Amino acid sequence: MTKRRRFATLPPVTTPELAVGAQLELRGQATDAEGSGVVEHAGRQLHVPGLLPGERARVRVDNLARFSANAYGHMLELLEPHPQRRSPPCPRHRDPLAQASHAGTCGGCPLMHLNVAGQREAKRERLRGLGLELAEADLIGGDEWGYRWSSKRVVAGKLGKLWLGSRRADPLAHTGQIADMHGCLVDHPAIERVFEQLVRQANLERIQGWRPGHQDKPATGDLRYAWAKTDGERVLLTLITSPGEGDADHSRAAELLPEALMAASPELAGVAWSVQPERGNAIRGRAPELLAGVGTLTLELAGVQVEVGPLGFLQPNPPMAAQAYLDLIDLGDAEPRERVWDLYAGVGVTTALLRARHREVIACESYAESAQALGIAPMAVEDFLLARKAERPDLVVANPPRAGLGTEVCARLVELAVPRLHMMSCNPESLAQDLARLAPAYELERLRGYDTLPQTAHLELVACLRRR
The residues annotated as belonging to the active site are: 426
Helices (H), 163-308: 189-204, 252-264
DSSP-based three-state secondary structure for 409: helix
What is the phi/psi pair of residue 461, to 5°? -135, 145
Q: Any residues with CB less than 8 A from the CB of 397 and at least 6 apart, and which? A: 328, 329, 340, 341, 342, 343, 350, 354, 422, 423
CA–CA distance, 414 with 443 (Å, rounded to integer): 12
Q: Any residues with CB less than 8 A from the CB of 259 and at least 6 apart, and which? A: 292
Position 460, amino acid: E
DSSP-based three-state secondary structure for 157: strand
Label the pairing between strands 395-398 and 420-425. parallel
Q: At what angle do helices 428-438 and 406-416 cross, to 10 degrees?
A: 40
CA–CA distance, 138 with 447 (Å, rounded to integer): 7
Position 437, amino acid: R
Nearest to 74 by CA among 54, 91, 52, 50: 50
CA–CA distance, 443 with 421 (Å, rounded to integer): 10
Nearest to 317 by CA among 190, 181, 144: 144
Q: Residue 313: how many CB atoms within 10 A of its CB?
A: 17
Judge contact between 127 and 133, C-beta under 8 A. yes
CA–CA distance, 194 with 156 (Å, rounded to integer): 17
Q: Any residues with CB less than 8 A from the CB of 271 and at least 6 apart, and which? A: 237, 238, 239, 257, 258, 261, 262, 290, 291, 292, 293
For residue 397, the number of C-alpha atoms closer than 13 Å in the C-beta half-sphere is: 32
SS (H, E, C) 296-345: CEEEEECCEEEEECCCCCCCCCHHHHHHHHHHHHHCCCCCCCCEEEEECC
